[in-house]
Chains A and B, each alone.
Chain A
C-alpha cells in the first residue's frame, strides 16, 4: 500500500490566487512528520514546510501553510498569492520511525503546478 498519495494531475493557478495541493498518508507510527518539497526545473529539492504529528497548530512558512487533518490523514499544502516562480513540481513526504530514534523518509509521486500570468 502506498504510504504517501498525491493523486492530482497537473495543477494550474492564476498568478496572485491561492492553490491547494493534496496529500494523504498512511502510517501506524504515532510519531511521524510530514514535509513538502519544491523541485523547480533546475532540479534541486527545496524544503518548504514541516508538520509534526503532535503539533497542535497547522504549520505556516510565509506564503506556505499546511492544512493538517490528522483524523483524515491528510496534509495539504496551501500556497497563497501564487507567483510565477512557484511553477514547479511539489512533493509530499512522510518521516516514520524505523528503530529507536532513527527514521525513514518516503515520498509521494509529486504534483506539477503551473502558474499562469
Chain B
C-alpha cells in the first residue's frame, strides 16, 4: 500500500536554486495539502488543493508555487530557495468532508545553505 509518496526525502540546496517536491497519492482522494514543519511552530499550511483543478493559498504561501497536475499528483515548487525555507515538508491527502482520516507522506527534509 503506497498511500502518499513524496520525493525527495532529503535535499540540500544553495540559496537561489530552484527545486520541486513531488507528491502522489493512490487513494483517489479529492484534497491534497502541503505543510511545512519548523521547530516550535507545528505544521503550517503552505498551499492546498481542495479538488483537481483548484489550488489555494494557506497560511505561509510566499516563496512557493504549486501544481495539481491531476487527481493523484500535487507538486510544490521553490523558485528561488532561501535559508528561511529550510524545513521539513509534508504532503497529505484526504477524502471529502465525510472522510475521517488524513494520510501523510513521510516528509521531505530540505536544507537551504
A residues engaging B (CB < 8 A)?
Answer: 6, 31, 33, 35, 37, 43-45, 47, 50, 52, 91, 93, 95, 97-99, 101-110
Contacts and interface: CB of A to CB of B under 8 A. Distances in A.
13 contacts: A44-B107, A52-B100, A101-B30, A102-B31, A102-B51, A102-B97, A103-B50, A104-B48, A104-B50, A105-B102, A108-B42, A109-B41, A110-B42
B94 to A, nearest CB: 7
Nearest to B96: A101
A37 to B, nearest CB: 8
Interface of B: 30-31, 33, 35, 40-45, 48, 50-51, 56, 58, 88, 90, 92, 94, 96-104, 106-107
B42 A102 contact: no
Contacts of B97: 31, 95, 97, 101-103
